């Protein structure tokens, strides 16, 4: 049977979720293999080297760079406090001395005879990495972090903004094709993850942020509204560092598009459960999609009920069209012919024949995804 | 003629697709015979580039009937119907080669370092300079954030002051940068600055980095010496960056020549063509994420990468940088602006979709025009003569405003414009590719247009660069012959008179003498676009421009030349430069429809 391998997003009812939680620099791992973790457990910590201050000692003292060493009252490796004197000139008969004071707390990192500069490294900046999701430590990566594992429902969105958030899932839209409106968002939803249907307007998103909602998961959002949220045109889809109170995870695309039934039903069935989400997206080499992880705390479902990874599209697959002019239409693949067909644009492409409601048949380039 | 090389397998491992081509010696020349492709397998779950290579080669095997693989090995040399004589590859997978460069003065050694890095095929993430306006701690934070694959440090002329370049070295040392790939090796740093500072550089950077010292990139202000730095970048690309990428050690053991970064290979091919023909060339490769532009003017090669101008991953950035109005000026129908931005956004997040309707195709090609236009503006600003050079001026120069740092790109001198990348190579009609190239690059005078049929310039570039004495002559011949016969599709020639002219006034008379002895004369009117279908053959032309109009011989000066037709033909472009569109929507749409109709750009129907 013919197959079409278009990249699909994962919608998994139950999967073995594994996640690396790694420090930006080597440091100390604080947990051991098998430890149970809650999302807030700190699993590893380190100190990032502090900022650097470069002091042009020769300029300040008005001397040649090679003479700087003779004037220093500190040496490499010394710990210094703000205001400590680090260099002074001999002056004239001990009078009219010039001084250089240290502008920050830190350590003397290096002294250069060629440029006359003294480099002071500020105190290190502590960094901690938490578990992000409830689970257990599957593997410890020495000095770097851990790999966490848990059984979880796992959903990938198509695009998101803002980084990691966690909270209780709350079903707000009753139907996958309903818009999540601003009047449905209340103060009581602070810290929760809201599940919407087809669309979230800019007003509704602003309301969610003002109510300190942790995240909103929805089918579609307007591309041009992103500028009002971010303050700039989003040219390249690399997100995750935005400092926003509410993460946004869009599951289908830009515009008003009903959330796929598989995604909506899975979220609906987990109403009231704790989840962790991350809006970080990178649509580039090393692609990253936003994610919703719902850890399963009970062992209710047998191992063999693990969801399968999405397969390629084949005859009989239910699919959704993801490009104009039939954007959003849902149908069943009736045929995947191997020969190229000419489109209205005269582009020669391999196509999929899709039956809509068993009545109309669309012949399309493979601008489709599994529903 | 007996050839040492009878068959060549070449692959290009792109970030999404790995392309394999088979070149064979057929009768008296090298020809491209078969081509295969497969998804690149650098990332999870495969994490081994060779799997994608083997899949692409398997497709070539199936199509050609030649056995090339023995399990996971490429059979070399050729033995009857099995194996190939040599195997070569390029790569841009995993984000390609990402570099940071540093120079004392941004517009002098900084720019020279940038030129060397770009010429070697890298993406330049940032240019650090003593005078870039950033404080030391800001520079240090930036270096730490970026995590480049390697750093090129330059600055100072030989024997000159060492203070500034040492300051930069100290900043690098303080940042203690870590490479992007692999936690456990030192970051390669190339020093190509003042030779007097070499010892101090060793003591500052020798411990914390894998330091290499090469000849100064700017030994004196008046001369650039890019070659040693470029060569060292290629060596380090193989030794460090490629060796860290998944599967590359294995791939390197298969190839008969070092793996080159894809843009480096394309650039060297374009440089070679320009040199061989003695012409000036502009080449463009518009991809999903980036647009690369290569040019050779006055025998000087330049390359720029517009890292965020592309047709899928970066399509929204084209919209952000060009503005919606500039995109829509090329669209001859009304469209809801908010719906259009959502559509473009959806192309970015689902980059593999292709335009089905004519409306979608027109919009995509409008965006391509703007992506190309913006990339070329960046290229023209970068491809300049050396800045900071003092020249003697006589009294007769006193009224000339020219100074050092002038752009080398002179559109009137351009002989050949080559386009490649999906939107240009796979446009349903070649007329569309020609129009996109003309509208975006705005060539002046007489310019030949061509597209790369299936984007095989990278493979041909690496082939042209084989150093092995016993192979290099055949390999270089193969690269040139395949480039001429199979790679380049000659679209035709664009004739564009420029100068002040009233709307619809005559700009030039052109008399053409064809190969069959017939002649034809046409009048180029301001604002018009005309096309004559002529296959790829010589056409003698005599052009009489109107007063104040230039076609290459000077204002009002007649010009006799030989031009070539092609799959599109001869295009006479009277739209002056820059091409301006009316602000009145109905006039603008009328012009667009007329121009499209003149070159038979789109199928006739509701929209056209």
* Residue closest to B494 by CA, chosen among B542, B442, B544: B442
Q: Which of A144, A323, A346 sits opposite B428 (nearest CB)?
A: A346
Domain-located, residue B396: no
Q: Which of A109, A237, A323 sits opposite B348 (nearest CB)?
A: A237
Residues B89 and B102 in one domain: no
What secondary structure, in 3-state letters, does chain A show? CCEECCCCCCEEEEEEEEEEEECCCCCEECCCCCCEECCCCEEEEEEECCCEEEEEHHHHHCCCHHHHHHHECCCCCCEECCCCEEEECCCECCECCCEEECCCCEEEEEECCCCCEEEEEECCEEEEEECCCCEEEEEEECCCEEEEEEEEEEEECCEEECCEEEEEEEECCCCCCCEECHHHCCHHHCCCEEECCCEECHHHHHHHHHCCCCEEEEEEECHHHHHHHHCCCCCCCEECCCCCCCEEEEEEEECCCCCCHHHHHHHHHCCCCEEEEECCEECCCCCECCEEEEECCCCCCCHHHCCCCCCCEECCCEEEECCCCCCCCEEEEEECCCCCEECCCCCEECEEEEEECCCEEEEEECCEEEC
Q: Are B43 and A159 a contacting pair at CB < 8 A?
A: no
pLDDT(A4) > 50: no
| pLDDT given at position A3 | 37
* Residue closest to B130 by CA, chosen among B86, B194, B214: B194
Domain-located, residue B373: yes
Q: What gap in Å lies between CA B72 and CA B69, rounded to an integer?
A: 7
| pLDDT given at position B395 | 58
Better-scored residue on pLDDT, A3 or A310 = A310
Q: What is the mean pLDDT of residues B528-556?
A: 96
Nearest CA of chain A to the CA of B300: how many Å?
A: 32
- Which residues of A are less than 8 Å from B343 in CB distance? 254, 324, 327
Q: B245's torsion region: left (phi>0), alpha (psi -120 to 50) or beta?
A: beta
Residues A37 and A156 in one domain: yes
Query: Residue B200's closest chain A neighbor by CA?
Result: A114
Residues B118 and B76 in one domain: no
Query: Could you tell me which residues come within 8 angstroms of residue B250 by beta carbon, excluding any fewer than 6 positions away?
Result: B48, B50
pLDDT digits (tens, 9 = 90+) for B238-275: 777 776 778 888 898 999 998 988 888 888 889 988 99
The token pair at A157 is 């969105």
Residues A160 and A289 in one domain: yes
Task: Dihedral sign for Cα B466, B471, B474, B478, please.
Answer: negative
Domain residues for A331? Answer: 313-370
The token pair at B561 is 């030349």
Nearest CA of chain B to the CA of A232: how many Å?
A: 9
Residues B351 and B428 in one domain: yes
Domain-located, residue A302: no
Query: Residue A26's closest chain B neighbor by CA?
Result: B183
User: pLDDT grade, residue B93 (50/70/90)?
Assistant: confident
pLDDT(A83) > 50: yes
pLDDT digits (tens, 9 = 90+) for A270-327: 999 999 999 999 887 667 899 999 999 765 554 434 445 445 678 888 888 888 788 8
Residues A170 and A244 in one domain: yes
Contact A321, B340 (CB under 8 A): no
| pLDDT given at position A286 | 64
Better-scored residue on pLDDT, B602 or A241 = B602
Residues B84 and B105 in one domain: no
pLDDT(B137) > 90: no
What backbone torsions phi and psi does residue B288 show, to the nearest 5 degrees? Answer: -75, -35
| pLDDT given at position B391 | 56
Chosen for mutation from B43, B356, B370 (greatest number of chain A CBs closer than 10 Å) is B356
What backbone torsions phi and psi does residue B407 show, to the nearest 5 degrees? Answer: -65, 140
Chosen for mutation from A122, A143, A322, A345 (greatest number of chain B CBs closer than 10 Å) is A345
| pLDDT given at position B179 | 77
Nearest CA of chain A to the CA of B137: how many Å?
A: 6
| pLDDT given at position B412 | 96
- Tokens 């950077």 -> residue: B205
pLDDT(B571) > 80: yes
Domain-located, residue B391: no
Domain-located, residue A308: no
| pLDDT given at position A113 | 81
Q: What gap in Å lies between CA A36 and CA B138, rounded to an integer?
A: 40
Split into its structural domains, chain B has a count of 3
Domain-located, residue B608: no
pLDDT(A201) > 50: yes
Split into its structural domains, chain A has a count of 3
| pLDDT given at position A300 | 53
Q: Are A327 and B346 a contacting pair at CB < 8 A?
A: yes
| pLDDT given at position A371 | 61
What secondary structure, in 3-state letters, does B403-448 show? CCCCECCCHHHCCEEEEECHHHHCCCCHHHHHHHHHHHHCCCEEEE
Chain pair A-B, CB pairs under 8 angstroms: 167
Q: What is the mean pLDDT of residues B315-344?
A: 91
Q: Which of B140, B319, B358 sits opposite A344 (nearest CB)?
A: B358
| pLDDT given at position B467 | 86
Residues B38 and B79 in one domain: yes
Q: Are A324 and B344 a contacting pair at CB < 8 A?
A: no
Residues A19 and A82 in one domain: no
Q: Are B356 and A54 a contacting pair at CB < 8 A?
A: no
pLDDT digits (tens, 9 = 90+) for B445-476: 999 999 998 778 999 999 998 988 888 899 99
Query: Residue A108's closest chain B neighbor by CA?
Result: B174
| pLDDT given at position A306 | 43
User: pLDDT grade, residue A248 (50/70/90)?
Assistant: very high
Residues A36 and A169 in one domain: yes
Residues A104 and A229 in one domain: no
Of B61, B93, B125, the domain-final residue: B93
Chosen for mutation from A10, A20, A236, A340 (greatest number of chain B CBs closer than 10 Å) is A236
Q: Are B357 and A52 a contacting pair at CB < 8 A?
A: no
Residues A213 and A322 in one domain: no
Domain-located, residue A202: yes
Residues A206 and A245 in one domain: yes
Q: Are B321 and A283 a contacting pair at CB < 8 A?
A: no
Nearest CA of chain B to the CA of A246: how many Å?
A: 21
**Percent above pLDDT 90 for chain A:** 52
Residues B40 and B123 in one domain: no
* Residue closest to A87 by CA, chosen among A105, A106, A71: A71
Residues A16 and A58 in one domain: no
pLDDT digits (tens, 9 = 90+) for B590-599: 999 999 999 9
Of B254, B270, B303, the domain-final residue: B254
User: pLDDT grade, residue B95 (50/70/90)?
Assistant: low
- Which residues of A are less than 8 Å from B350 in CB distance? 158, 253, 322-323, 367, 369
Residues B88 and B216 in one domain: no
Residues A285 and A159 in one domain: yes
Residues A35 and A67 in one domain: no
Enumerate the β-bridge partners of residue B529: B573
Nearest CA of chain A to the CA of B496: how many Å?
A: 29
| pLDDT given at position A53 | 83
Query: Could you tell me which residues come within 8 angstroms of residue A265 by beta carbon, excluding any fewer than 6 positions away?
Result: none
Q: Hey, how many other C-beta atoms are within 10 angstroms of the C-beta on A316?
A: 9
pLDDT(B40) > 50: yes
* Residue closest to B467 by CA, chosen among B234, B139, B197: B234
Radius of gyration of chain A (CA): 29
Domain-located, residue A139: no
Contact B603, B579 (CB under 8 A): no
Q: Are A114 and B200 a contacting pair at CB < 8 A?
A: yes
Q: What is the mean pLDDT of residues A176-180?
A: 95
Residues B83 and B208 in one domain: no
Q: Are A223 and B162 a contacting pair at CB < 8 A?
A: no
Chosen for mutation from A160, A237, A352 (greatest number of chain B CBs closer than 10 Å) is A237
The token pair at B211 is 């330091």
Better-scored residue on pLDDT, B97 or B409 = B409
C-alpha distances (whole Å) from A132 to each of A4, A146, A166, A240, A292 are 35, 12, 8, 15, 11
pLDDT digits (tens, 9 = 90+) for B166-218: 989 988 988 888 777 665 678 899 999 999 999 999 999 998 899 999 999 99
Nearest CA of chain A to the CA of B59: how many Å?
A: 15
Domain residues for B65? Answer: 7-93
Nearest CA of chain B to the CA of A11: how many Å?
A: 17
Contact B456, B487 (CB under 8 A): yes
Query: Residue A223's closest chain B neighbor by CA?
Result: B342
DSSP B564-592: E--SSEEEEE-S-SS----SSHHHHHHHH
pLDDT digits (tens, 9 = 90+) for B363-400: 999 999 999 999 999 899 888 877 766 655 555 555 55
User: pLDDT grade, residue B94 (50/70/90)?
Assistant: low
Of B93, B120, B142, the domain-final residue: B93
Domain-located, residue A47: no
Q: What is the CATH number of the domain that holds B199?
A: 3.40.50.2300
* Residue closest to B424 by CA, chosen among B451, B397, B406: B451
Domain-located, residue B276: no
Domain-located, residue A73: yes
| pLDDT given at position A305 | 42
Contact B281, B272 (CB under 8 A): no
Q: Which of B95, B136, B350 sits opposite A322 (nearest CB)?
A: B350
Domain-located, residue B265: no
Cα atoms in the Cβ-side hemisphere of radius 13 Å centred on A66: 0
Burial bucket for residue B399 (CB in 10 Å: 0-12, 13-18, 19+): exposed
Q: What is the mean pLDDT of residues A227-243?
A: 88
Give SS3 for B284. strand
Contact B488, B479 (CB under 8 A): no
Q: Which of B95, B308, B353 sits opposite A236 (nearest CB)?
A: B308
Domain-located, residue B63: yes
Q: What is the mean pLDDT of residues A101-124?
A: 88
Q: Which of B289, B353, B359 sits opposite A367 (nearest CB)?
A: B353
- Which residues of A are less than 8 Å from B167 in CB distance? 115, 117
Q: Are B289 and A284 a contacting pair at CB < 8 A?
A: yes
Domain-located, residue A134: no
Residues A112 and A66 in one domain: yes
Q: What is the mean pLDDT of residues B110-125?
A: 88
Q: Are A112 and B359 a contacting pair at CB < 8 A?
A: no
Q: What is the CATH number of the domain that holds A354?
A: 2.30.30.30
| pLDDT given at position A304 | 39
Residues B305 and B454 in one domain: yes
| pLDDT given at position A6 | 42
Q: Are A283 and B341 a contacting pair at CB < 8 A?
A: no
Q: How many residues does chain B have?
A: 608
**Percent above pLDDT 70 for chain B:** 95
Of A122, A142, A173, the domain-final residue: A122
Residues B234 and B297 in one domain: no
Residues B428 and B299 in one domain: yes
Q: Give the DSSP H/E element, type plus range, for residue B379.
A: helix B358-382
- Tokens 């109510």 -> residue: A211
Q: What is the mean pLDDT of residues A30-35?
A: 96
Domain-located, residue A133: no
User: pLDDT grade, residue A5 (50/70/90)?
Assistant: very low
| pLDDT given at position A369 | 67
| pLDDT given at position A285 | 63
Q: What is the CATH number of the domain that holds B72?
A: 3.30.420.40
Task: Dihedral sign for Cα A187, A189, A192, A195, please.
Answer: negative
Q: Are B163 and A114 a contacting pair at CB < 8 A?
A: yes
pLDDT(B402) > 90: no
């Amino acid at each position: 049977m013919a197959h079409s391998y278009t990249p699909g997003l994962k919608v998994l009812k139950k999967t073995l979720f594994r996640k690396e939680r790694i420090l930006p620099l080597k440091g100390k791992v604080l947990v051991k293999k098998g430890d149970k973790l809650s999302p807030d457990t700190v699993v590893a910590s380190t100190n990032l080297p502090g900022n650097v201050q470069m002091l042009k000692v020769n300029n300040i003292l008005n001397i040649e760079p090679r003479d700087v060493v003779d004037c220093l009252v500190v040496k490499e490796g010394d710990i210094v406090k703000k205001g400590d004197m680090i260099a002074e000139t001999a002056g004239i008969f001990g009078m009219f001395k010039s001084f250089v004071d240290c502008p920050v707390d830190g350590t003397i990192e290096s002294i250069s005879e060629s440029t006359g500069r003294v480099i002071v490294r500020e105190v290190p900046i502590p960094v901690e990495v938490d578990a992000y999701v409830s689970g257990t430590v599957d593997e410890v990566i020495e000095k770097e972090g851990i790999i966490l594992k848990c059984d979880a429902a796992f959903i990938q969105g198509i695009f998101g903004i803002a980084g990691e958030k966690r909270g209780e899932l709350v079903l707000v839209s009753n139907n996958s094709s309903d818009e999540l409106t601003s009047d449905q968002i209340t103060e009581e939803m602070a810290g929760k993850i809201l599940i919407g249907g087809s669309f979230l307007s800019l007003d509704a998103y602003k309301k969610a942020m003002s109510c300190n909602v942790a995240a909103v998961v929805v089918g579609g959002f307007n591309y041009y509204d992103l500028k009002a949220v971010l303050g700039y045109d989003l040219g390249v889809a690399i997100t995750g560092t935005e400092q926003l109170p509410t993460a946004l995870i869009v599951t289908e695309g830009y515009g008003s598009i009903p959330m796929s039934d598989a995604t909506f039903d899975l979220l609906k069935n987990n109403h009231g459960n704790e989840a962790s989400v991350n809006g970080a997206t990178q649509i580039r080499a090393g692609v990253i999609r936003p994610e919703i992880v719902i850890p399963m705390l009970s062992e209710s479902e047998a191992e063999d009920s693990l969801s399968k990874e999405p397969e390629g599209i084949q005859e009989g697959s239910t699919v959704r069209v993801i490009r104009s002019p039939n954007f959003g239409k849902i149908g069943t693949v009736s045929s995947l012919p191997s020969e190229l067909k000419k489109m209205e644009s005269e582009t020669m492409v391999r196509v999929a024949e899709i039956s809509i409601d068993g009545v109309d048949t669309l012949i399309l380039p493979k601008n489709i995804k599994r529903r | 003629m007996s050839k040492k090389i009878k068959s060549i397998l070449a692959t290009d491992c792109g970030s999404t697709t790995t392309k394999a081509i088979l070149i064979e010696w057929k009768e008296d020349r090298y020809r491209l015979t078969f081509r295969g492709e497969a998804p690149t397998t650098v990332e999870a779950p495969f994490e081994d580039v060779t799997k994608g290579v083997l899949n692409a080669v398997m497709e070539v095997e199936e199509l050609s009937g030649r056995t090339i693989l023995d399990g996971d090995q490429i059979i070399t040399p050729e033995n009857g119907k099995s194996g190939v004589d040599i195997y070569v590859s390029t790569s841009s997978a995993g984000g390609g080669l990402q570099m940071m460069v540093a120079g004392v003065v941004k517009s002098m050694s900084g720019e020279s370092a940038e030129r060397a890095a770009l010429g070697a095929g890298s993406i330049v993430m940032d240019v650090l300079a003593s005078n870039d306006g950033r404080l030391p701690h800001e520079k240090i934070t930036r270096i730490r954030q970026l995590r480049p694959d390697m750093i090129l440090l330059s600055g100072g002329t030989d024997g000159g002051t060492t203070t500034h370049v040492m300051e930069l070295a100290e900043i690098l040392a303080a940042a203690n940068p870590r490479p992007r790939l692999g936690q456990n090796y030192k970051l390669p740093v190339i020093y190509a600055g003042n030779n007097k500072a070499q010892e101090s550089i060793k003591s500052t950077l020798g411990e914390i980095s894998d330091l290499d010292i090469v000849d100064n990139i700017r030994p004196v202000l008046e001369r650039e010496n890019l070659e040693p730095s470029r060569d060292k970048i290629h060596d380090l690309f193989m030794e460090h960056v490629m060796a860290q990428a998944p599967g590359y050690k294995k791939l390197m053991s298969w190839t008969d020549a070092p793996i080159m970064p894809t843009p480096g290979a394309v650039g060297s091919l374009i440089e070679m063509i320009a040199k061989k023909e003695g012409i000036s060339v502009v080449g463009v490769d518009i991809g999903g994420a980036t647009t690369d532009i290569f040019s050779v003017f006055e025998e000087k090669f330049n390359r720029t990468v517009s890292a965020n101008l592309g047709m899928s991953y970066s399509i929204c950035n084209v919209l952000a940088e060009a503005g919606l109005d500039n995109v829509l000026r090329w669209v001859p129908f009304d469209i809801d602006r908010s719906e259009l931005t959502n559509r473009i956004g959806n192309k970015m997040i689902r980059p593999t979709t292709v335009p089905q309707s004519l409306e979608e195709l027109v919009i995509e090609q409008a965006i391509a025009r703007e992506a190309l236009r913006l990339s070329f503006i960046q290229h023209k600003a970068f491809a300049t003569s050396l800045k900071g050079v003092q020249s003697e001026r006589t009294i007769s120069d006193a009224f000339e405003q020219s100074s050092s740092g002038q752009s080398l790109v002179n559109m009137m001198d351009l002989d050949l414009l080559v386009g490649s990348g999906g939107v240009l190579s796979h446009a349903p009609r070649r007329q569309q590719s020609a129009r996109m190239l003309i509208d975006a690059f705005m060539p002046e005078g007489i310019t030949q247009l061509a597209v790369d049929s299936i984007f095989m310039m990278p493979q041909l570039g690496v082939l042209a660069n084989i150093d092995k004495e016993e192979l290099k002559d055949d390999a270089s011949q193969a690269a040139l012959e395949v480039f001429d016969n199979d790679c380049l599709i000659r679209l035709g020639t664009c004739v564009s008179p420029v100068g002040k002219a009233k709307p619809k006034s005559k700009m030039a008379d052109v008399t053409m003498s064809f190969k069959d002895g017939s002649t034809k004369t046409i009048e180029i009117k301001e604002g018009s676009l005309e096309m004559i279908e002529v296959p790829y053959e010589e056409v003698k032309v005599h052009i009489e421009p109107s007063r104040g109009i230039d076609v290459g011989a000077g204002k009002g000066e007649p010009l006799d030349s030989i031009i070539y037709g092609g799959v599109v033909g001869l295009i006479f472009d009277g739209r002056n430069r820059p091409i301006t569109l009316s602000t009145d929507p109905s006039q603008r749409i009328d012009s667009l429809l007329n121009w499209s109709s003149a070159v038979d750009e789109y199928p006739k129907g509701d929209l056209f």
